Amino acid sequence: MLETLLPILIFTALALAVIGAVRRIRLWRQGRPSRVNLFKGLVALPRRYLVDLHHVVGRDKMISNTHVATAGGFVAAAVLMILVHGLGIANPLLGGLLLLASASMFVGSLFVARRRLNPPARLSKGPWMRLPKSLMAFSISVFLITLPTVGLLPEGLLEGGSSWLLALVLAGVVAWGLGEMFFGMTWGGPMKHAFAGALHLAFHRRAERFSTKKGGAGRSTGLKALNLEDEAAPLGVEKPADFTWNQLLGFDACVQCGRCEAVCPAFAAGQPLNPKKLIQDMVVGMAGGSDAAYAGSPHPSQGLGGKPVGEHAGSPHGPIVALEGKALVDADTLWSCTTCRACVEECPMMIEHVDAIVDMRRYLTLERGKTPNKGAEVLDNLIATDNPGGFDPGSRLNWAADLNLPLMADLKQVDVLLWLGDGAFDMRNQRTLRALVKVLRAAEVDFAVLGTEERDSGDVARRLGDEATFQSLAKRNIATLAQYRFLQIVTCDPHSFHVLGNEYGELGGHYVVRHHSTFIAELYDAGRLTFAPWKGGSVTYHDPCYLGRYNGEYEAPRNVLKALGIEVKEMERSGYRSRCCGGGGGAPITDIPGKQRIPDMRMNDVKESGAELVAVGCPQCTAMLEGVVDASAEVRDIAELVADALVERSADDVTGASRRTTASTTAEEVIV
Amino acid sequence: MAFDAIFEPIEIGKLTIRNRVVSTAHAEVHATDGGMTTERYVRYYEEKAKGGCGLCICGGSSVVSIDSPQGWWSSVNLSTDRIIPHFQNLADAVHKHGGKIMIQITHMGRRSRWDGFDWSTLVSPSGIREPVHRSTCKTIEEEEIWRIVGDFAQAARRAKEGGLDGVELSAVHQHLIDQFWSPRVNKREDEWGGSFENRMRFGMEVLKAVRAEVGNDFCVGMRICGDEFHPDGLSHDDMKQIAAYYDATDMVDFFGVIGSGCDTHNTLANVIPNMSYPPEPFLHLAAGIKEVVNVPVIHAQNIKDPNQAQRILEGGYVDLVGMTRAHIADPHLIAKIKMGQIDQIKQCVGANYCIDRQYQGLDVLCIQNAATSREYMGLPHIIEKTEGVKRKVVVVGGGPGGMEAARVAAERGHDVTLFEAADSLGGQITIAAQAPQRDQIAGITRWFQLELARLKVDLRLGTRADEETLLDLRPDIVVLATGGQPFLSQHPEWGYSENAEESLVVSTWDILSGKVAPGKNVLIYDAICEFSGVSAADFIADKGAKVEIVTDDIKPGAAVGGTTFPTYYRSLYEKEVIMSSDLMLHKVYREGDGLVAVLENEYTGALEERVVDQVVVENGVRPDEALYYALKEQSRNRGQVDLEALYAIQPQPCLSESGDGFLLFRLGDCTAPRNTHAAIYDALRICKDF
């Protein structure tokens, strides 16, 4: 009886799965086109899965092992099952392997079940709660029906007249397992993640983020330049179908593990953003319907604990954000993001949340002019003055009036172009810049600045969705840079660093860009800087998102601190898990309220590390962290620490001019 | 950006100044050794440059000629090439921190003294006596005019060769150039007087000669007044005409403008407005000059606060603000603005201790910052944390000395507790601030309050510390700054009693603190002649009472400085306070409801009586020594301060000696009555090495 039933069940499930897959693919294909080399992607899939994905998953060994056992067991079992029970190749070897595979899957599913006994808040419940049972149903039933093939059970045991009931029950369990695993995979059950996830890995929109045999993962922006010349081209994403098809595919891959939720600074601050929920909102929108079935933590909401589920709905061609009332997502959810990429870094499915958010912001800003709070003002400032603060562009070099900085316009050709960034207008960051200048001079670096020719890099405009202003700034900066020759750009601003290095390329600007910590580390390694021993207290280091997660530079700043004689007391959240300061993505500008402030949380992390000083490498981080009231630690940029520790070898003064006397010099300003 | 107007660089001539804040020319007095700048001088200006000041104009009234006496205020002597290498040191010290430095050069004409040094014959356009310095002079001759014109040019050359960034010609404060300008002083009928062009001639010849000598690349400015405030002097319109006239030559790179002339005591007080003046009282005069010239205008006078400076600059009234006393109080003013430490700026309160010392020929010092102009001795503006042991420091007394002691000890990183018997900090400053027009003196306390809070000093206000409470804290160091009490018991005939009901006299403290209500007909006997007597007189008269202030000294307020007694006098005369001198308080007795004060003439011995309803006596302070003697024998150092170490700014030797028990130091009025600066200076030099 089973021999008859099993092939029917298996091939029915497979057929239904194929139908489901076609339907699912059609959902994804509602999205805009995206150029992907399908073949190359599929070829790269195993490596992306086994190396890159498992690099992320492997951060939790328990889950990693569980997944290897369960998923590995399932994939093997599924293939073998089709052979053994579907096609009837009752080879004892295959049978034995199938037993092993299903046993492995069963053991894995026990751990899955254990995790579901008392699941953390970040895990979605709902259908996911039945998954361990389904896994067990599948693995146990497959194991049992396979026993006879290796002769461990008499062939006829399940065939006899009295055992038809047993066979029927077994067939029912097999059907349950097949239903979840094959049918559910493409029809929207929890196992959908395997199908969508695999294809998402293969057809990922940012293929350069994956490692290759030649080396580590490449760094890139996820933001693609909009074609502003084409008047018909929509600006940003208004409705789910405005995403590219592989973005939709990516959303569909979500396993709702909530790792993103656990690391999202906006979520922790009680701002109305839960990245997991946002991705699920997109899935809902892609298929059409309401979010009523969502079974995870909602977007936080002030006073309510969370935005009620079931009140938001959408469709592939309906607006994501309603002009009035509610649609799929509220605008404040999109404006809460700091673009810190903590979610992207943690996502085992390699989903790109941040880019999706910026895509949706682009629509709100470019088509609707709905950048909230100070957003519009900042963008107006950028348009009028080329800097977000609206300062007189001619005053960009005011802070250095006494430093006699060499100008690119005069020198035309130097080794290092020092990119100032908009911190040049900020009194706090001016201290960092002065310190950096002092360091460059101490190391006798051949450098110059653009001075008033420099414009904002466009970072804030781009993150606020104003792609037009970004491109305008970027193109003019590129044109300015094109007039000069330099080996590399050095900047103390990780945002400029990222934008110049990773986002100008698409517009024709290709440069070697270095963060000042990297450059200082190189100068030190080359023996061009000498430091006095560190006399201060304990120090921790805060990784800027755009230096660390965006660009993978975790070591250089730490090496500089080490060279200064500082032993870094790491915070619990550091390196790729560093918590954002709250300053990125225009978040301080759009200023969506929550129940606490992100920088306060970060300074609390600092406090918990016991450090008296937090070293930073980003003007934005400095501003955010220093803005914390009653902080327990001092905030200093790495450049400042280095400048303070310099043992000067030349008698040159701060102004760069040679002095007549040989008296030793002190800092240019008392504390600076 | 906040303070963007302050931090906008500006070109003066060919010179770029990094911000809009200037330390304007003033006589340093500590300046020189025979007219040559010293290490002290260099370090004083280097500190300002280090602190971020944009432009320092040093050497107020630095002389170009040997017949303009240099010695009275120890100004810089530019009449000889010997000065050049000294300037090089000065210029290097300022330039290496990104600052710029110029010097004011002048011939003071009649505005000096002749009775010393070379016993010069002072010169002036018409030989008219100058009242402030009681100086007579001769009428200048043509030959002397041309000699002095040439001296100006040579002085400017020396400044240039010394590496300074420019010179400021002083045509203000009634120096020789503006003596020629002012019809009040210039009565000549030759080509150097009379018509506008003739009166302008000397200054024009100086300017032409200087410019010819230094060329166009060197900064040459002029400091002028905005209105002499004399009916027979130069009015604001006259000054606008003069400024425009010189500006039209294109030889002047900037104008500095001071409101008010200063050849009388009363106008002199305007020039360096003390705390009785409103903020920037003469800005309108400088703005008027700016209207008619095409080069940057600098204005200094009561600009003390960064917000005020920003407002003035943003408003476009002038191009640069002088914050000179502000820099004397805190040479790191600019750095603190940049650091976002506005609350940590020690703001000038306009006590004018600096300038009033200067007019006595004493070195310029700050009432509240003992490190200023003592940089060369190693006294720090920024107290470094100790690398040695952390100690428990207990300070008793929240007056200026105690507050400074607590601040310095806390900056060193020690655990500091401060006891103050009153409910608020300040000590005698709190009392002084009660007088009319004297409230700003409380700014000294305000800064300490903020600093002590920032440094987390454990403040025990309203707590009179006794031996037991002190020792319970197991201190390593005890600093006593308990001050004293009014010394009314010196003469029993005054009828002072500790029982307020019985006492025939009250103290100025009683009056100013509000403890005793002022009477209706009051005699104040002031044996001290500093601020408290005249403050009490002003306070009581302000309530509408009849007041006579009597002293056995030469005049009431005789010990109040030259820029401050005039503002007291304005107020006292206006309120019809009678000021009597040469009379000693002989005796006080009760008669009916009233009191009779018997006064004895210092010189004749004749007695006279006043019938009043209240007698207020100011007889200085008697140190409060009780706690000191209670602790002295128990302390490790028996309360002794090592004077050699103290005067040499070296650590007290007992700090490095080990042993049981605590160290005991006392300072301020509880040792001997001196003044605010003395208490703060002692606190700084004792505590900086804790």
Residue A227 included in any domain: no
Cβ contact (<8 Å) for B97 and A668? Answer: yes
Tens-place pLDDT, residues A484-516: 999 999 999 999 999 999 999 999 999 999 999
The pLDDT of residue A652 is above 50: no
A260 exposure class (CB count in 10 Å sphere: 0-12, 13-18, 19+):
buried
**Per-residue confidence (pLDDT) for residue A162, from 0 to 100:** 61
How many C-beta atoms lie closer than 10 Å to residue B350's C-beta? 25
Nearest residue in B to A660, CA atom: B92
Residue A222 included in any domain: no
Residue A671 included in any domain: no
Tens-place pLDDT, residues B178-222: 999 999 999 999 999 999 999 999 999 999 999 999 999 999 999
Residue B435 included in any domain: yes
Give the CATH number, domain containing residue B559: 3.50.50.60
Last residue of a domain, one of B569, B591, B619: B619
**A451 CA to chain B: closest CA distance, Å?**
14
Residue-number span of the structural domain to which B558 is assigned: 488-619
Instruction: Specify whether the CB–CB gap between B273 and B223 falls below 8 A.
Output: no
Cβ contact (<8 Å) for A653 and B96? Answer: yes
Structure tokens given for B447: 């800064």
Instruction: Specify whether the CB–CB gap between B690 and B395 falls below 8 A.
Output: no
If asked whether residues A459 and A359 sit together in one domain, one would say: no
The distance from CA B359 to its chain's CA centroid, rounded to whole angstroms, is: 10
Q: CA-CA distance, A398 to A420, in Å (whole number)?
A: 12
Closest CA to A558 of A641, A443, A442: A641
Cβ contact (<8 Å) for B95 and A655? Answer: yes
Average confidence score pLDDT of chain A:
91
**Per-residue confidence (pLDDT) for residue A92, from 0 to 100:** 85
| Tally of domains within chain B | 3
* A670 touches B: beta carbon within 8 Å: yes
**Per-residue confidence (pLDDT) for residue A670, from 0 to 100:** 39
Last residue of a domain, one of A175, A207, A239: A207
If asked whether residues B553 and B650 sit together in one domain, one would say: no
Most A CBs within 10 A among B19, B96, B314, hence the mutation to make, goes to B96
**Per-residue confidence (pLDDT) for residue A231, from 0 to 100:** 84
Q: Mean pLDDT throughout A99-111? A: 94
Residue B3 included in any domain: no
Last residue of a domain, one of A185, A207, A229: A207
Q: CA-CA distance, A475 to A421, in Å (whole number)?
A: 16
Residue A441 included in any domain: yes
Residue B537: strand, helix, or coil? helix
Q: Mean pLDDT throughout A8-18? A: 90
Instruction: Specify whether the CB–CB gap between A394 and B302 falls below 8 A.
Output: no
Cβ contact (<8 Å) for B7 and A399? Answer: yes
If asked whether residues A581 and A621 sit together in one domain, one would say: yes
Structure tokens given for A246: 């592989």
**CB-defined contacts A:B, below 8 A:** 85
Residue A230 included in any domain: no
The pLDDT of residue A669 is above 90: no
Last residue of a domain, one of B342, B377, B412: B377
If asked whether residues B542 and B644 sit together in one domain, one would say: no
If asked whether residues B298 and B196 sit together in one domain, one would say: yes
Q: Mean pLDDT throughout A25-39? A: 93
If asked whether residues A324 and A404 sit together in one domain, one would say: no
Give the CATH number, domain containing residue A255: 1.10.1060
* A143 touches B: beta carbon within 8 Å: no
Closest CA to B122 of B107, B104, B142, B106: B107
- Per the DSSP assignment, residues forming a β-bridge with B105 are B62, B169
Which of A399, A403, A669 comes nearest B50 by C-beta?
A669
Assembly ipTM: 0.86
If asked whether residues B138 and B113 sit together in one domain, one would say: yes
If asked whether residues B19 and B149 sit together in one domain, one would say: yes
Residue B383 included in any domain: no
Residue A668 included in any domain: no
Tens-place pLDDT, residues B58-98: 999 999 999 999 888 899 999 999 999 999 999 999 999 99
If asked whether residues A470 and A542 sit together in one domain, one would say: yes
If asked whether residues B501 and B640 sit together in one domain, one would say: no
**Per-residue confidence (pLDDT) for residue A655, from 0 to 100:** 54
Cβ contact (<8 Å) for B89 and A661? Answer: yes
If asked whether residues B241 and B164 sit together in one domain, one would say: yes
Cβ contact (<8 Å) for A670 and B7? Answer: no
**B271 CA to chain A: closest CA distance, Å?**
31
If asked whether residues B79 and B123 sit together in one domain, one would say: yes
**Could you write out the DSSP letters of every residue in A515-564?**
EHHHHHHHHHHTT---BPPP-S--EEE---TTTTTTT---HHHHHHHHHT
Closest CA to B107 of B130, B83, B129, B123: B123
**Per-residue confidence (pLDDT) for residue A651, from 0 to 100:** 41
If asked whether residues B44 and B96 sit together in one domain, one would say: yes
Closest CA to B566 of B185, B230, B132, B27: B132
B231 exposure class (CB count in 10 Å sphere: 0-12, 13-18, 19+):
exposed
If asked whether residues B366 and B414 sit together in one domain, one would say: no
Cβ contact (<8 Å) for A661 and B16? Answer: no
Cβ contact (<8 Å) for B92 and A663? Answer: yes
How many C-beta atoms lie closer than 10 Å to residue A634's C-beta? 16
Instruction: Specify whether the CB–CB gap between B109 and B62 falls below 8 A.
Output: no
Residue A128 included in any domain: yes
**A555 CA to chain B: closest CA distance, Å?**
29
Residue-number span of the structural domain to which A257 is assigned: 250-367
The B-side interface with A (CB below 8 A) comprises: 1-4, 7-9, 16-19, 50-52, 88-89, 92, 95-99, 163, 332, 334-335, 337-340, 381-382, 387
Most B CBs within 10 A among A661, A671, A672, hence the mutation to make, goes to A671
Structure tokens given for B616: 């207020």
B332 interaction partners in chain A (CB closer than 8 Å): 670-671
Q: What is the pTM of this model?
A: 0.90
Cβ contact (<8 Å) for A671 and B382? Answer: yes
Q: Which of A228-232, A463-467, A508-512, B413-417 comes out lowest in average pLDDT?
A: A228-232
If asked whether residues A362 and A385 sit together in one domain, one would say: no
Q: What percent of chain A has pLDDT over 90?
A: 75
Tens-place pLDDT, residues A539-558: 999 999 999 999 999 999 99
* A381 touches B: beta carbon within 8 Å: no
Tens-place pLDDT, residues A44-69: 999 999 899 988 999 989 999 999 99
Q: Mean pLDDT throughout B642-668? A: 94
If asked whether residues B553 and B615 sit together in one domain, one would say: yes
If asked whether residues A308 and A399 sit together in one domain, one would say: no
**Per-residue confidence (pLDDT) for residue A360, from 0 to 100:** 97
Residue B5 included in any domain: no
The pLDDT of residue B484 is above 80: yes
If asked whether residues A563 and A439 sit together in one domain, one would say: yes
Last residue of a domain, one of B593, B619, B645: B619
If asked whether residues B319 and B414 sit together in one domain, one would say: no
The distance from CA B26 to its chain's CA centroid, rounded to whole angstroms, is: 11
**A662 CA to chain B: closest CA distance, Å?**
10
Residue B614 included in any domain: yes
Residue B593 included in any domain: yes
Cβ contact (<8 Å) for A669 and B16? Answer: no
B6 interaction partners in chain A (CB closer than 8 Å): none
Cβ contact (<8 Å) for B338 and A430? Answer: yes
The pLDDT of residue B407 is above 60: yes
Q: Mean pLDDT throughout B585-595? A: 95
Structure tokens given for A156: 């006829």
If asked whether residues A284 and A391 sit together in one domain, one would say: no
Give the CATH number, domain containing residue B234: 3.20.20.70
How many C-beta atoms lie closer than 10 Å to residue A648's C-beta? 15
Q: Which one is predicted more confidently, B408 or A169? A: B408
If asked whether residues A270 and A293 sit together in one domain, one would say: yes
If asked whether residues A437 and A460 sit together in one domain, one would say: yes
Most A CBs within 10 A among B8, B97, B327, hence the mutation to make, goes to B97
Closest CA to B158 of B258, B252, B86: B86
Residue B66 included in any domain: yes
The pLDDT of residue B602 is above 80: yes
Residue B433: strand, helix, or coil? coil
The distance from CA A322 to its chain's CA centroid, rounded to whole angstroms, is: 26
| Tally of domains within chain A | 3
Instruction: Specify whether the CB–CB gap between B364 and B373 falls below 8 A.
Output: yes
How many C-beta atoms lie closer than 10 Å to residue A254's C-beta? 27
Which of A398, A428, A653 comes nearest B7 by C-beta?
A398
Q: Between the CA atoms of B255, B257, B263 and B268, what dihedral angle is there, to the nearest 10 degrees? A: -150
CA dihedral over B289, B291, B292, B296, signed as positive or negative: positive
B335 interaction partners in chain A (CB closer than 8 Å): 669-672
Residue A223 included in any domain: no
Cβ contact (<8 Å) for B2 and A427? Answer: yes
Tens-place pLDDT, residues B8-55: 999 999 999 999 999 999 999 876 788 999 999 999 999 999 999 999
Tens-place pLDDT, residues B563-581: 999 999 999 999 999 999 9
The pLDDT of residue B527 is above 60: yes
- Strand pairing category for A289-290 and A313-314: antiparallel
If asked whether residues A419 and A331 sit together in one domain, one would say: no
Most A CBs within 10 A among B11, B101, B338, B382, hence the mutation to make, goes to B338
**A20 CA to chain B: closest CA distance, Å?**
59
If asked whether residues A625 and A497 sit together in one domain, one would say: yes
